[in-house]
Amino acid sequence: MTDLPNSSLHLETLAVHAGRTPDPTTGAIAAPIHLSTTFARDDQGEYSRGFVYSRLDNPNRRTLEGVLAQLEGGTAAAAFSSGTAATHAALQAIGGPGRILAPRDCYHGTRLVMTDTLAPWGLEVTFVDMDNLAAVAAAAMDPTAAPVALIWVETPSNPLLKVTDIVAIAAIARDVGALLVCDNTWATPLLQRPLALGADLVVHSTTKYLGGHGDVLGGAVIGQGDHPAFGRVRQIQQVAGAVPSPFDCWLLLRSLQTLPLRMRAHCDNARYLARHWAAHPAVERVYYPGLATHPGCVVAARQMSDFGGMLSIAVRGDRAAAQAVVTHTQLFGRATSLGGTESLIEHRASLEGPNSTTPENLLRVSVGLERMEDLAADLDRALSLALQS
């Protein structure tokens, strides 16, 4: 059952069946967890069973990577111990010093990898508005700057929910001979498949929707196994060694079975809440690509099958007003991260620190799987209590 034809099966079916072969020795349907860090040679002194040492490869990780590759429509995946480790590897796939283009509003941790960790090693970053195609083309073809080796796309973006046209950026990347990498964490392969739209590599923080329960940290890079950039990612994974534990791989595989169902519920809830708060007098603006008023709505509708479970709201008022709202919620947890069963709310500018460009009155909401009316009532109550105080 590991070699399911991903062209003919729907993602809902793949999510349940991919990688689920009964254990050959016991018949166990749920896979065993292989904790062994090292593997024995056979009688001929060879590693004919395919495993040598767990940093290089492990049965649970191999199964996970196979399933992730099938879900994204790639042929290979490399699993990492966090989304940030996956980001590092994908950026290092350019092989050495070079210039990249990145979205001005990319996830702030990704920005830190670029500017603080990799810049001293020769990575030069030009930040652009990825939803402005003319600006991206101009930056990519700037005759006064170094050639562009990689374009980084994150769509929808964190936390402004900007939408990038992946097909259009892929054309620019092809024109200048750059790699296109898409962080697909927020959309998941259920809603958006960047490889089919022209990306060379897809990056995930599997900590979010793919894990889905807030209990496993992980990341992945997915692509075509014979692409040189993927080869470099695999090498970085095995040599640098930021790999997930067998238990984390097992947890993630279990979660992937319910990803399609969870995503449907996340999307339905977020749509309801976005419409609800768009009409709320205490809300200045709702950032959600499924609203017709959102500048990226048309592109999102074209390249996504639904609009996801994330939204941000700008509260009418200042930073203090937004911070007051989150002190009054009862169902929405006050925590960072996203993509889990429970709804979370966060004053993003506080987390991002003094260099944040996020509006001061913005609250980012990860819409969970609770009943949508209960979520609406919880934040409505918090909004009115904050306005009274």
Positions annotated as catalytic residues are 55, 107, 183, 208
Shortest Å distance, C-beta 231 to ligand PLP: 23
How many residues would you count in the chain? 389
Q: Facing residues of 201 across strands?
A: 181
* Closer to ligand PLP by Cβ: residue 90 or 282: 90
* Closer to ligand PLP by Cβ: residue 109 or 317: 109
Which of 136, 133, 91 is closest to 110 using CA atoms?
91
Cβ neighbours around 37 below 10 Å, total: 10
* Closer to ligand PLP by Cβ: residue 87 or 358: 87
- Which one of 219, 296, 333, 359 is in contact with ligand PLP (CB under 6 A)? 219
Shortest Å distance, C-beta 109 to ligand PLP: 5
Residue 57: both structure tokens together? 């490869």
- Which one of 73, 109, 231, 317 is in contact with ligand PLP (CB under 6 A)? 109
* Closer to ligand PLP by Cβ: residue 6 or 192: 192
105 binds ligand PLP (CB under 6 A): no
192 binds ligand PLP (CB under 6 A): no
* Alpha-carbon gap, residue 227 to 199, rounded angstroms: 12
* Alpha-carbon gap, residue 312 to 140, rounded angstroms: 30
Shortest Å distance, C-beta 268 to ligand PLP: 21
Residue partners of 279: CB distance under 8 A and separation at least 6:
none
- Which one of 72, 131, 183, 306 is in contact with ligand PLP (CB under 6 A)? 183
* Alpha-carbon gap, residue 302 to 141, rounded angstroms: 27
83 binds ligand PLP (CB under 6 A): yes
Query: By CB under 6 A, how many residues form the interface with ligand PLP?
Result: 16
* Alpha-carbon gap, residue 299 to 287, rounded angstroms: 15
* Alpha-carbon gap, residue 242 to 263, rounded angstroms: 28
- Of the candidate spans 55-63, 104-112, 171-179, 220-228, the one that interacts with ligand PLP by CB under 6 A turns out to be 104-112
* Alpha-carbon gap, residue 376 to 371, rounded angstroms: 9
- Which one of 158, 237, 269, 312 is in contact with ligand PLP (CB under 6 A)? 158
* Closer to ligand PLP by Cβ: residue 98 or 109: 109
* C-alpha distances out from residue 369 to 93, 270, 342, Å: 36, 10, 6
Interacting positions 242-301 with ligand PLP (CB under 6 A)? none
* Closer to ligand PLP by Cβ: residue 107 or 287: 107
185 binds ligand PLP (CB under 6 A): yes
207 binds ligand PLP (CB under 6 A): yes
Q: Residue with the closest Cβ to ligand PLP?
A: 83
* Alpha-carbon gap, residue 306 to 341, rounded angstroms: 18
> According to DSSP H, which parts of the chain are helical?
11-17, 59-72, 83-92, 108-112, 133-140, 166-176, 188-191, 228-240, 246-256, 259-278, 297-303, 319-327, 348-352, 372-388
237 binds ligand PLP (CB under 6 A): no
Binding residues for ligand PLP, rule: CB under 6 A, are 82-84, 87, 107, 109-110, 154, 158, 183, 185-186, 205, 207, 217, 219
